[in-house]
Structure 1
């Protein structure tokens, strides 16, 4: 996500936070290899231990693809790296909003993608930390299938109404990636 954002918005500064050392190293190398290390900095730390000074002041926007499986649910991957990335072992949705509330400007926004079936967990976590949804978009594998993910923008201390956009479809009727989906990954 930082690489795509840096390519599209060269004027912004991006700080990535990654708890896993190996993934943090990989993210730093990606930034260097794409000549974006002046725009993107990566911190190898647990988000709950991040200080505002670590990120050079409060953030305007936080984006996250947080672990999406509840702790003690489903089969835990034996690969620790994958288990931490997929299950709420070191970060759950409540902790994400708690930390975001502390690290973001008072009118800041949080963008996340999360399983659609857990939208009630999102709403509860947002409300607990004075965030409200301002944008929702459901992601479907194909037309006529249930939503698998939800893209959410939540604003802190906001009373704006929520815009619900048309669904995003990953595959078309010929089982090919949709143009809209493909365009999301282009610089």
Structure 2
């Protein structure tokens, strides 16, 4: 079953389907990391049904976003969302394997690449029997190295790559970024509260950047009372509700 929802009242609409991987908080958190400005060319690797691209356009309307995904059903829904929001001139999608981006794009085609990647190596834990969920959850179609290699190729010199991942993959992520020619420049852990361990991290790499990473204050999801933090409310556009 399809589900259509608004990002905020009178805002853009996104779509997801029960047969595909359901969008989560991590996509919203990822969209808060990039420093956006008008005119940026953005690529969303493993875009699914296009939620991250819509989130970025909700925050900065003067972007051009290209989503890439290997799943035809997800791309078809993403294209419908672009049409529903009258964004087909700024939000487009390609059904291709990100490991084959060299066959479809020139190097340096984008200023910013974003990715909400599969979190788990294919041999770790239980692997879903559903192909769509397996692709979204486990590195069965593209490894972290594959993703970073694709991002580096797509970025112009000095371009930024933003992704979200699990804390236990931090070393893997930093090494994959550096091996692909991107230096980690900003790192931010996501915690439920100040007294809890991080559940995710957000990281930004720069193609051709110099060594040196800015470890930013943690992104807290809850206050001491358990209510959503002001920052989480802003990420979900709740601070704009009337």
Q: TM-score range by the shorter chain?
A: over 0.9
**Cα separation, 2, equivalents of 1:8 and 1:33:** 18
* 2:177 matched residue in structure 1: 126
- Residues 30-50 of structure 1, C-alpha deviation per residue, up to 9 Å, x if partnerless? 222222222100111111122
Say whether 1:181 aligns with 2:236: no
Equivalent in the alignment of 2:144? 93
Q: Which runs of 5+ in 1 are unaligned?
A: none
Q: What is the rounded CA distance, in whole Å, between the counterparts of 2:72 and 2:167 in structure 1? A: 29
Query: For the Cα contact (< 8 Å) 2:108–2:157, is it kept in 1?
Result: no
How many residue pairs were aligned?
187
Alignment partners' CA distance in 2, 1:176 and 1:83: 33
Moved over 3 A (4+): 51-57
Which aligned pairs between 1:116-155 and structure 2 lie closer than 5 A? 116-155=167-206
Q: State the TM-score, normalizing by the size of structure 2.
A: 0.72
- The 3 A distance-change label for structure 1 pair 55 and 185 is farther
Distance 1:57 1:128, change over 3 A: closer
In the alignment, the residues of structure 1 paired with residue 103 and residue 130 of structure 2 have an alpha-carbon distance, to the nearest angstrom, of 32
SS at match of 1:61: strand
Distance 1:107 1:44 in 2: 27
Structure 2: distance between partners of 1:51 and 1:70: 24
Three-state SS of the structure 1 residue aligned to 2:160 is strand
For residues 179 and 21 of structure 1, the distance between their equivalents in structure 2, rounded to whole angstroms, comes to 37
**Stretch of structure 1 that moved more, 45-54 or 101-110:** 45-54
Provide the rounded CA distance (Å) in 1 between the counterparts of 2:106 and 2:230. Answer: 35
Match of 2:89 in 1: 38
Does structure 1 retain, via aligned residues, the 8 Å contact 2:105–2:154?
no
RMSD of aligned alpha carbons: 1.9
Structure 2 matches for 1:150-165, cutoff 5 A?
150-159=201-210, 161-165=212-216
- The one of 80, 83, 101 aligned to 1:50: 101
8 Å CA contact 1:94–1:125 kept in 2: the answer is yes
